[in-house]
A = this chain, B = another copy of it.
Amino acid sequence: MTDLDLETRLSDDDHQALKLWLRLLSCTTRVEDHIRQRLRQEFGTTLPRFDLLAQLERHPDGLTMRELSKRLMVTGGNVTGITDQLEAEGLVQRETRAEDRRSFIVRLTPQGRRQFKRMAATHEGWIVELFAGWTPAQKTQVHDLLALLKTHLKDST
Contacts and interface: CB of A to CB of B under 8 A. Distances in A.
Contacts of A120: 6
B139 A142 contact: no
Contact of A19 (B24, B31, B141, B143): B143
A130 B17 contact: yes
Contacts of A145: 133-134, 138, 142
A34 interface: yes
A152 B136 contact: no
Given A25-B32, A146-B23, A152 B132 contact: yes
Interface of A: 3, 6-7, 10, 13-21, 23-25, 27-32, 34, 113-114, 117-118, 120-121, 124, 126-134, 136, 138-143, 145-153, 156-157
